[in-house]
Amino acid sequence: MSKAAILIVDDEKNILTTLGRALRVEDFDVDVAGNAAIALEKAKARAYDVILLDVNLPDLDGIEVLKKLRAEKNDVPVIVMSGHGTIDTAVSATRLGAHDFLEKPIGTERLLLSLDRLLQFHKLSTENKELRKLAQAFDAMIGDSAPMRTLRSRIELAASAQAPVLVTGERGTGKELVARAIHLASKRASGPLEKLNCAAVPSELIESELFGHEAGAFTGATKQRRGKFERAHGGTLFLDEVGDMPSPMQAKLLRVLQEGEIERVGGGDVLKVDVRVVAATNKDLAEEIKAGRFRADLYDRLNVVPLRLPALRERREDIPVLAAHFLRAACEANDRRGKSLSDGALRLLAQYEFPGNVRELRNLVERLVILTLDDIISEADARALLPLPGGAKGQGGFYTPQKPLREMVEEAERELILRALAHHENQITKTATDLDIERSHLYKKMRSLGIRQKSEDEDES
């Protein structure tokens, strides 16, 4: 186990010497600073486990140093020391997040007891944060079907290793969620998680995105830039849509995976990186290899730990709980509280093939939340947006609207408002009451949708 690193900040050399010697004897890794400026610089350059901070410093008092640390988002545990301690000082330090307040002269036993309590507390706090992150990652992977239980088990096994992981599955199955869960369940959880969608970056820029570049390396490179591999050092790099990576970059990626070294574009220095790669694709890489579009040796290196995500149609029993989860989120996001899905609507959803998988289900539920007037979303409501086999032609007899959701929402809202206006003979107050919205909001919505207000005696066209 590594030693706990402690920074002692005090302008009295004898205190730095005395406390430093006592802590080194107890096997702490001790560093010292004689003023606030040096302390703040050291705190930026190194992650300490604890800072022992004197209140009376020549350039800036300890309370101000503590304020600066917190303003810089540095949450290192701090023990404040003072030879002229007052209740006000202790209260100020505690409010700023100091874990203890010690009056000088400080006895070794008292100091060691405070450090022991603080380090134990910080260890438990860190472990709890990591467990919460892990729980959140797995909570996002909703469903208790056999395929999902198997997937969670394999994610935990994959997370305990250091080898590359290749996540495969159809679009919309949640590959990024799996990558995040692997990272949070691994020993690298405290490190960064960087992401790159290989299909979204132009081929001429992907090398710079991955490895960074030096100033002047190409037109527009006005300053040095770190790439994804450097920023992911000590953590995980998620390469989404890796099957779309250009062929020249595949060879360079293979070298990094084998050697753990990169070179910035336009640079000559070789940089060591410690990065675990989790790659994902919805393509059949075996077929891509046969077609000459993907390197077999890169596939072998990425596919050390394979994880296949089940399609939603392979775990239909998870659809009700997924739909309920997305319903709550959509109601909150769109101010449509109190809605629920009827049993008939859920049965209808469970029959659909969902070529877009979980992502398509989420979008469909949001569409139902927005486009239905009643609190209970009926089977008829669902059927209107997702006809049963025998209706419009499409995969499996179903039809999925191809327009963007925004356009469909606008069209539906316009139609609903026009019908409500006609029903209430263009009386805005009654129409707003029926639609359960404010009059002012209805006016704004009508203007945005191009609906002209008619007087009650104006002829209907």
Ranges in the chain annotated CATH 1.10.8.60? 313-398
Question: Would you state the pLDDT for residue 451?
Answer: 87
Q: Locate all alpha helices (DSSP H) within 376-438, ordered by sequence.
A: 379-385, 405-423, 428-435
Closest among 131, 125, 113, 122 to 49, alpha carbons compared: 122
Q: Parallel, antiparallel, or unpaired: how do β-strands 193-197 and 276-281 relate?
A: unpaired
**Number of helical H runs and strand E runs in the chain:** 19, 14
Question: Would you state the pLDDT for residue 391?
Answer: 38
CATH number assigned to the domain covering 313-398: 1.10.8.60
- C-alpha 333/C-alpha 327 separation (Å) is 10
36 near 9, Cβ under 8 Å?
yes
Closest among 291, 293, 350 to 316, alpha carbons compared: 350
Question: Would you state the pLDDT for residue 394?
Answer: 37
Structure token pair of residue 333: 């996001």
Strand blocks (E) in 45-202: 50-54, 78-82, 100-103, 165-168, 193-197
Residues of the chain with pLDDT under 50: 1, 387-400, 455-461
Question: Letter for the amino acid at 314?
Answer: E
5-127 falls under which CATH superfamily? Response regulator (3.40.50.2300)
Closest among 456, 424, 426, 429 to 441, alpha carbons compared: 429
Question: Would you state the pLDDT for residue 288?
Answer: 96
Closest among 439, 445, 381 to 417, alpha carbons compared: 445
> In sequence order, what are the residues at sequence separation of 6 or more whose Cβ sits closer than 8 angstroms to the Cβ of residue 338?
331, 375
User: At 167, is the secondary structure helix, strand, or coil?
Assistant: strand
Closest among 13, 73, 82, 20 to 53, alpha carbons compared: 82
Q: Parallel, antiparallel, or unpaired: how do β-strands 340-341 and 5-9 relate?
A: unpaired
- C-alpha 357/C-alpha 173 separation (Å) is 6
Ranges in the chain annotated CATH 3.40.50.2300? 5-127
142-310 falls under which CATH superfamily? P-loop containing nucleotide triphosphate hydrolases (3.40.50.300)
Structure token pair of residue 105: 């002269």
Question: Would you state the pLDDT for residue 11?
Answer: 92
> In sequence order, what are the residues at sequence separation of 6 or more whose Cβ sits closer than 8 angstroms to the Cβ of residue 22?
108, 111
Question: Would you state the pLDDT for residue 27?
Answer: 92
Question: Would you state the pLDDT for residue 85?
Answer: 60
Domain 403-461 has CATH 1.10.10.60: yes
Ranges in the chain annotated CATH 1.10.10.60? 403-461
| CB-CB neighbours of 245 under 10 Å | 25
Question: Would you state the pLDDT for residue 454?
Answer: 58
Cα of first residue to Cα of last residue in the chain, in angstroms, is 82
Question: Would you state the pLDDT for residue 139?
Answer: 63
Closest among 312, 316, 284, 311 to 299, alpha carbons compared: 284
Question: Would you state the pLDDT for residue 130?
Answer: 65
Closest among 129, 147, 228 to 184, alpha carbons compared: 129
